Structure 1
């Protein structure tokens, strides 16, 4: 396997740069740059030279011998001054060496997985941790990286394998009496597993939203202040604000953080009768976006909140904009004025309260569709096993248990398809 290298800062100017080299041949880096080898896990100052014996940089060098490293391989880190020229010289020198190459995105983490340092959920948690932008995203990604989901998956799989081992004993030694009530043991354990999995699947919707963002869509007629509100909330001019109706034709997305909740705020085309085909498409997209949203903010600058296209429900908030020109004083209608900055803080609290109401009682551990589908496959197999007669068809029950164990195992480790692994790790940044 090649020895790989990359920079933590990806060819950007910085005060310092760290170049990590991982692989079987990482221990020959001192020979490549003509410096004295360092003691393992001890930072040492070394002068790095090129092939012409010209100095490249004075660097702090740390060598980590495998297998007890981040990747399970030999690792050497070069802590350099932040010059792009220095970085380029290091890359050019390493790139000329046999079996050395630049790391692909996520390749360090992929090697950590392949070498048994972390499992897949921890790898995914690490990537989510790097990309976390809100407090709640940080918490759930850190819990995955620390192995909380891994422990849950391991517990499920251990119970399934336990039942399978008892069943295999029944099949192999059918002439002997087993010293326990096998049917009762199976029924109780499978019911417990199915109940726990059902709760996890139920909470997964919230988990996925924590990871990807809660979708909130602004709906209203042209010029009611949708774009002004979204600009105010984002504290920057991301939407066009004019008196001309129909200015916003495409759905415009803004990412926000409300009390730790990641928000995807959608500014949409004003709903009105129009002859413009382009504007009609924008209005249609707005309605479709609203239907799929976690929360809909219906805005109006008068008493008319009636949009037959939008079904009012617990996920809608009625907002009267431009209250500085006069309030409606209507029940269930929230008054705001972007111009005078009134009612905005209360609106944010209302939105946050709604999002908190979506939070399940149990921890939302499943944050990816991959997780959910695997648990569903396992759950379906366990249901089939519970419906089969243990005494008449033990082989069928055993097969369903194997299917369940394989499905659950695929969440953390047991994936053999290279394309699936490539898809998971390709979303990582270079350097991880």
Structure 2
């Protein structure tokens, strides 16, 4: 196994930079840099020098002994001053050290997976945590990183192994009279797992939205104040505004944190009949994006004017509240009137939706769960036919178990690993 190294902290000037080494030569390589033996596990303050004895920097050296480390291997971390020059000097020295090589993206985490320190769902949770921009994303990523989905999968797997073993016991003693009918317990075990799997499969779509963000489209007639409202919500001039109808031709997107949830606001072209070919293209795009959005804000006198049917949770607000009489409700991006109430309404709808999400967060999870459900449905059906077909039911259970094992990365995931780890930085 190679010994790898990389900058584990962010690129650029900082107060402290962390360089991580992992592998069988990590401790000896760190010791050569510091000119003395290091504890197998601990922290010491040392002066770092190059191979010619020239001083590089002062820093803390942390050592971790296998298997009690992030990767499950011997690990050393160098905490030095975070200047670009200091970091580059230490990295050059490590590059010139025999037996060391620069890590590939995500290689530290990949080694943690291969050495049993994390399962595949935890790796995905770590990637999500690194990318998290909102509180909801952070909490969801922490749940996965803590191993809760892996714990669930192991419980499901254990129950299905128990069910399969009961069926196989009957098969093994087919020529003898089995004193107990195992089918009630087998059915109960399978149905319990299926209930959990259905709940997780149904919640994946919302969980994915927490990861990638909800889309909220602002739709209305031309000059209804959509772009002005978008700018007010974004707190900056994200869209061009003018008194001329048809100014917005494309869909303008603004990503923001709304009550801890990731939200992409869409400013769409005004919906109207027009002979302008380019504007028509924008209007068709607006209708398409509005239909696909998770939530629509209808900025109009009446939603029926827009030719887009309102869904149950969609929000209707009156435009240009600053031009209306006292006491009339509405929203104005120009003065800010009604914006706090609109933000509260949007946040309330999206928060209610997030209550339905489970622990599974990715389409890969949903596919593995669906495969397991299909096999369990077949197993229940075959089980009803009696002991003569228990061998088929047992095989369906084994297929379901393999699907759950792929969920946590035990089997059938090699083709996924390069794609997953390519999103990691070098120091992870």
Same fold (TM over 0.5): yes
Q: Distance in 1 between matches of 2:168 and 2:47?
A: 63
- Show the counterpart of 1:186: 186
> How big is the alpha-carbon RMSD for the aligned residues of Structure 1 and Structure 2?
2.0
- Show the counterpart of 2:28: 28
1:211-242 CA-to-partner distances (Å, cap 9, x unmatched) read 22111111112222212111111212222223
Please state how far the C-alpha of 1:416 moved relative to its aligned partner: 3.7
1:38-86 CA-to-partner distances (Å, cap 9, x unmatched) read 2133221111111222111111111111111000111100001111111
**CA, structure 1 residues 184+307, in 2 after alignment: closer, same or farther (shift >3 Å)?**
same
Are 2:404 and 1:408 aligned? Answer: yes
Please state how far the C-alpha of 1:328 moved relative to its aligned partner: 9.8
Q: Distance in 1 between matches of 2:113 and 2:420?
A: 11
Q: Distance in 1 between matches of 2:425 and 2:199?
A: 33
1:364-401 CA-to-partner distances (Å, cap 9, x unmatched) read 11110111111110000000011112412222112111
Q: Distance in 2 between matches of 1:356 and 1:34?
A: 53
2:336 to 336, 341, 356: 341
> Are the counterparts in 2 of residues 10 and 430 from structure 1 also a CA contact under 8 Å?
no
- Show the counterpart of 1:425: 421
Please state how far the C-alpha of 1:341 moved relative to its aligned partner: 1.6
Please state how far the C-alpha of 1:188 moved relative to its aligned partner: 1.8
Are 2:348 and 1:350 aligned? Answer: no
Provide the TM-score with structure 1 as the length reference.
Answer: 0.93
Are 2:378 and 1:384 aligned? Answer: yes
- Show the counterpart of 2:282: 282
In structure 2, runs of 5+ residues without a counterpart are none
Please state how far the C-alpha of 1:24 moved relative to its aligned partner: 1.9
- Show the counterpart of 1:318: 316
Q: Distance in 1 between matches of 2:117 and 2:379?
A: 34
1:140 is paired with a residue whose SS is: helix
Please state how far the C-alpha of 1:128 moved relative to its aligned partner: 1.3
In structure 1, runs of 5+ residues without a counterpart are none
- Show the counterpart of 1:171: 171
**CA, structure 1 residues 4+242, in 2 after alignment: closer, same or farther (shift >3 Å)?**
farther
Please, which moves more after superposition, 91-100 or 260-269? 91-100
**CA, structure 1 residues 187+338, in 2 after alignment: closer, same or farther (shift >3 Å)?**
same
Please state how far the C-alpha of 1:179 moved relative to its aligned partner: 4.5
Please state how far the C-alpha of 1:20 moved relative to its aligned partner: 0.6
> Are the counterparts in 2 of residues 203 and 360 from structure 1 also a CA contact under 8 Å?
no
Are 2:233 and 1:233 aligned? Answer: yes
**CA, structure 1 residues 312+173, in 2 after alignment: closer, same or farther (shift >3 Å)?**
same
Q: Distance in 2 between matches of 1:213 and 1:179?
A: 56
Q: Distance in 2 between matches of 1:278 and 1:23?
A: 59
